[in-house]
Every structure is written in structure tokens, then in C-alpha cells.
Amino acid sequence: MSRTPLVVVGDCLLDRDLDGRVERLSPEAPVPVVEDLDARPRAGGAGLAAVLAAADGRQVRLVTALGNDRAAAELRRLLGAAGVEVVDVGLRGPTPEKVRVRTQGRTLLRLDYGGRRPGAWEPVGPATLAAIAAIRAAPAVLVSDYGEGITSEPAIRAALAAVAGRRRLVWDPHPRGAPPVAGCRLVKPSRREAGGGDHLAGVARRARELRRAWRADGVAVTLGERGALLVTEEPVPLVAPVPRAAPHDACGAGDRFCSAAAGLLADGAGLAETVIGAVHAASAFVAAGGAAATPGPDPDPAAAPGEGMEAALAVAAAARSRGGRVVATGGCFDLLHAGHVGTLRAARELGDCLVVCLNSDASVRRLKGDGRPLVPEADRAAVLEALGCVDAVVVFDEPTPEAVLRELRPDLFVKGGDYGGRELPERAVLAEWDGEVVLLPQLAGRSTTRLMEEAMRVVGD
């Protein structure tokens, strides 16, 4: 599918992640010693939003201001490799740079270099005129404001106002930045930036105030693990929940939300559809490791995470990066009941993430007969994904999930106690990498077959 080109306007930073191993404290002070450092540079700020939009398959131009230094040269290289065209209006002084020292997926320390300085902008010249032309000609624009000042430049701001008048503009504001121009299609402050307190009622009231003040079509307040709240001209706000808890590195989640939202709106989606899709895209991004992970193509940012092998592998990789154990289980899960839930909860307690290998409809029919399943695979997967103990679901079409397990390589594969005394084919598969198959006791008297028999008896009576 052809995707609408996008212009991103905002402050670009060079981010560096220094990932290492911590096994001891320093003898000089009670601080951790980080060893075997692996340095990973990446585009940050508006640069990250542009890279993520390009990874969605869009033609992306980035209007930003870079200095004449090593950090700027590195940013140009990274952006070019991602397929992002840079329109540089010029920056006097150093390009902003942020360094995060990390271990096992956790940040220990952040160091900031450069940043906003009075008189840092180059005077309006050919580069600025080229930026203005790019903005005015853009089918859609995302402003990713990181408070360094580019959105305050009068000529660029006038160009953005013209775009907003045609309802093509998404604005990600910053507390230190300029307010959005009037007429934006969507403005996305975080809950901290918007204010209104911790309760949804207060956030909704504040979002309505901001929408009136900014004269925007919609204001979407991101709520972290609770998703996002959208206020439009409709009297009742929309809450788009996160498809599943993703308590990993959330760095860059806002940029992923906005890059997905800008793209969806550019392609013709409505505001509600856009915010739901952007929440899903941001959740998948965080579950896959956040900004610290190398972004790859995402052909459908509106697709829910947790569908397919890619999401399961990301969940497993995130658990392993923290030194955790990956647990898998499998089954039909037709008419989910208390016995299923008890086994799933117990399986999750054995490790740090749980992947469910779910028999497809065709696989269930081969195992159970033509009358099954009672619930189609998409609905069965959705119900499983709604459980807090389930981190990912992979649908497979074979009689057993051996192919899925070979790709996932879990530490444990869990089956119910009714499989005791049987030779399980999964046991030989897990032995290939020293994994183990274990049984969990069942909750007596709970089974799908029994539920069906009782339902038929009630119908017969």
C-alpha cells in the first residue's frame, strides 16, 4: 500500500546508549562499576520520530537544526542510513547529545551535552527558505518539539500555521517549547505536560481546556501504561487502552505514538482510529525494547501487538535482556474456563514472561472434530491476550507447536496435569537447547467438554 509522505519538524538530538555489565560496586564509592561497554548511537528527538516514520515505509523529510560538529555528522549518517532526507537550517553551537549508561535494559545514569542557547539560530537564508518550502508543500507534517527552539523561529512558525489551516498538522509539544499553532489536527501532550492530576476526569477537563486554547481538532493525552485519552468536539472523551502491559524501557514511546498518528491521519484515518492505532504502535514499540532497540519496518502501525511470532520474539528478548526465563504453553483454549486460567497463572509464575502457542481453527478441527472450535482463533487469541499473565500469543496450524518452539526457544514448556504419563513430542524439541517440559496440576472438574455437555443438558431441559 502506498503511504503518504511526511515532513517532520523539530529538534534533533544524538542519543548514545552505553550498555554494559554490572557485577560489583566501586571500592572508591558505593556506585556500580559498568564494564564491557557497548556503545550504540541513534537519532533522538525529532530524529527518532523521523526514523520511525521512515521504518513504516514513508518518504520522510526532517526539518531541523544541526551544528558543525561530530554529533551532527553522526546524526546525518544515521538519518541517511534510515532513508530520512535532512533539511538543516543551521545551528550555532554544539548539537544536543544525550548519553545513557545502561545495564540489563535499565538506565543507571544520563549525561546531557549541548542544548538550547540564546542566539543559537543561523539567520534566515537559503537553508531556512528550503525548510519553509518543504513544510508548505508537505501532504502532512509532524512537529516533534524537544524544547530547543526551532518551533519558535518566526518564518518556520508561519509555515506551520499555513499547514495547520489545511488540517494536516500533528503537534507533539514540549514544556519548554512554543505552544502549538492554531488549527492543528491533533496535539499530543503527555499527562505530565497537560496537567489535570491523576484522575481521568481531571485529565479530560484539562484536555478540553487545551483544545479550546489551541483551537485544535483533537487533543490526545498519553497516559503511559493506561493508553491515551482523546478529546474532540464530541461530548464524551475516548480512552484508548494499551493492548497489554509492557513494563519495559518506555524511552521513545511518545515519538512512536506521534509518528504512527501522523501517518495514519495522513493516510485518511479519523481521530479515534488514529489514536487507537497509535497506542497499539507505541505499545508494540515498547514491548520490543523501545528506542534502545533498532527500529525495523512496521507495515501496519494500527495492528495490535501480540499477534504473531514477531511480538513473541520481542517479549522473549526483553525478558532475556533482564536475565529472565521464558515460559511457553500451548493448547486450544476453546471456551476459556477457570482451569485454563489457573494453569496460565501458575505457568507465568515459573518465569518472567509467558507465550501461549494457540491451535488454529483448522488445527482444532483436526484434533477435536468438525464441531470445534466453538470460538474462532482471533477471538480466542484476544481473550488470552487480555489476561495479565499472558505476554504474547502465537497461532500455529500444525498438530503440535514444535516449529514455534524451535524459533522461540523457551526455557520451559508447560502442560496440564492431564498429560501425565504421555510421551510429549515437545520434550524432545526443548532438549535441543536444554529446555525442560513440566506439568502443572489441573483444577478438578473444569473442562471445555464438560461445559459443552452441561450447556446441551440445559438446552434439552
Contacting residues for 36 by C-beta, under 8 A, at least 6 apart: 20, 21
Give CA–CA dist 269/117, Å, rounded. Answer: 39
150, 175 contact by CB (below 8 A): no
Q: Please check whether residue 173 is in contact with residue 144, taking contact to mean a CB–CB distance below 8 angstroms.
A: no
Q: Of 63, 216, 66, nearest to 135 (Cα)?
A: 63
- In what order do the strands lie in the sheet containing 186-187? 84-88, 60-64, 6-10, 141-144, 169-172, 186-187, 218-222, 228-231, 238-240
What is the enclosing helix (H) or strand (E) of 384? Answer: helix 377-385
Selected catalytic residue, list 17, 172, 255, 411:
255
Give the C-alpha separation, 105 to 263, whole Å: 29
CA–CA separation, 410 and 401 (whole Å): 12
Number of helices (H) and strands (E) in the chain: give both, helices first. Answer: 15, 18
373, 376, 381, 386: CA torsion to nearest 10: -100
CA 277/CA 302 separation, integer angstroms? 4
Block residue for cell numbers 487480555: 386
Residue 348: left (phi > 0), alpha (psi -120 to 50), or beta? alpha
Q: Secondary structure of the chain: what % helix, strand, coil (to 5)?
A: 40, 25, 40
d(CA 301, CA 291): 16
| Residue 313, number of CB atoms within 10 A of its CB | 18
The question of whether 255 is a catalytic residue gets the answer yes
The answer to whether 185 touches 169, Cβ cutoff 8 Å, is yes
Residue 377: DSSP 8-state: H
Helix (H) or strand (E) holding 344: helix 338-349
Cα distances from 26 to residues 30, 32, 34, 173, in angstroms, run 6, 6, 9, 40
Write the single-letter amino acid at 214: W
> Mapping DSSP to helix (H, G, I), strand (E, B) and coil, where does residue 25 land?
strand
Cell of 221: 493525552
Active site residues: 255
